[in-house]
């Protein structure tokens, strides 16, 4: 057997082992880990704050989460964005449309692991606010002591209308993510919404650069881009 053939076989074997090793790597569910760490907290909101894909041949997938804890009394809530956390490709793809969405929340001691628009667990609760009507549109309005939730969850520029909240409760609550629709038919929440593009510009800039690099790599005639 020639040295050239032997070298090719060694490289192929090495790549196979590397790929097998990558495929066998297991990642704990980040939500389950978070729930365990905050099992003594009665109220919180966990938001998917950022996402990232690293690597060219062998990719790794990462999430950043934002934790919102209510303040005591009339105090404003505290927010904290955690570090990058590696997740499985399957988990990343599962939440690829959920940027800026609530991934899990706990309210009055009850845990909900469902994808919802941010702050929706407070909407409709008369302890926090009320429905108001202006110019024919009915929308949710927080009471003065909870007004900071409007800014924190982006409801100042994207109010929650009664019709969309009823749609969420009637066909999505507890079963599937709800992204809503704007006047053009595009999602109001999540990765594909215009508001999220404004609120998370770093994610979309990185994604655009990554796609540009992939196109350039594929145009070199190596065959990978075909």
Q: Tokens 């507890």 label which residue?
A: 174
Q: Is residue 112 part of a domain?
A: yes
Q: Is residue 61 part of a domain?
A: yes
Write the CA distances from 100 to 22, 189, 190, 195, integer angstroms: 29, 8, 6, 9
Which residues neighbour 150 within 8 Å (Cβ) at sequence distance 6 or greater?
Answer: 142, 156
What distance in Å separates the CA atoms of residue 120 and residue 112, rounded to the nearest whole number? 12
Q: Is residue 221 part of a domain?
A: no
Q: Is residue 14 part of a domain?
A: no
Residue 145 DSSP symbol = G
Q: Is the pTM of this model over 0.95?
A: no
What distance in Å separates the CA atoms of residue 146 and residue 207, rounded to the nearest whole number? 35
State pLDDT tens for residues 88-126.
999 999 999 999 999 999 999 999 999 999 999 999 999
Q: Where are the beta strands (DSSP E) in 122-209?
A: 129-134, 137-142
State pLDDT tens for residues 34-72.
999 999 999 999 999 999 999 888 899 999 999 999 988
What distance in Å separates the CA atoms of residue 134 and residue 114, rounded to the nearest whole number? 31
Average pLDDT over residues 194-200: 92
Q: Is residue 91 part of a domain?
A: yes
- Per the structure, the complete domain to which residue 123 belongs is given by 24-205
Contact 34, 46 (CB under 8 A): yes
Q: Where are the beta strands (DSSP E) in the chain?
A: 44-54, 60-69, 78-81, 85-87, 102-107, 110-112, 129-134, 137-142
Q: Is residue 13 part of a domain?
A: no
Q: Count up the domains in the chain and report the number.
A: 1
């Amino acid at each position: 057997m020639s040295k050239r053939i032997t070298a090719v076989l060694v490289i192929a074997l090495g790549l196979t082992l590397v790929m097998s090793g990558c495929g066998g790597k297991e990642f704990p569910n980040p939500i389950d880990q978070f729930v365990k760490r905050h099992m003594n907290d009665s109220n919180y909101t966990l938001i998917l704050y950022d996402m990232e894909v690293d690597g060219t041949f062998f990719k790794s997938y990462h999430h950043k989460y934002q934790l919102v804890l209510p303040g005591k009394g009339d105090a404003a809530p505290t927010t904290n964005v955690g570090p990058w956390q590696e997740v499985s490709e399957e988990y990343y793809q599962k939440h690829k449309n959920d940027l800026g969405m609530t991934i899990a929340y706990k309210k009055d001691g009850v845990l909900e692991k469902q994808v919802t628009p941010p702050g929706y667990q407070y909407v409709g609760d008369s302890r926090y606010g009320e429905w108001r009507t202006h110019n024919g549109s009915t929308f949710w309005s927080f009471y003065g002591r909870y007004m900071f939730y409007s800014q924190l969850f982006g409801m100042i520029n994207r109010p929650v209308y009664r019709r969309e909240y009823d749609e969420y409760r009637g066909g999505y609550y507890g079963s599937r993510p709800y992204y809503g629709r704007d006047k053009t038919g595009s999602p109001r929440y999540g990765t594909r919404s215009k508001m999220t593009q404004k609120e998370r510009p770093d994610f979309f800039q990185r994604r655009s650069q990554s796609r540009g690099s992939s196109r350039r790599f594929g145009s070199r005639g190596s065959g990978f881009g075909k």
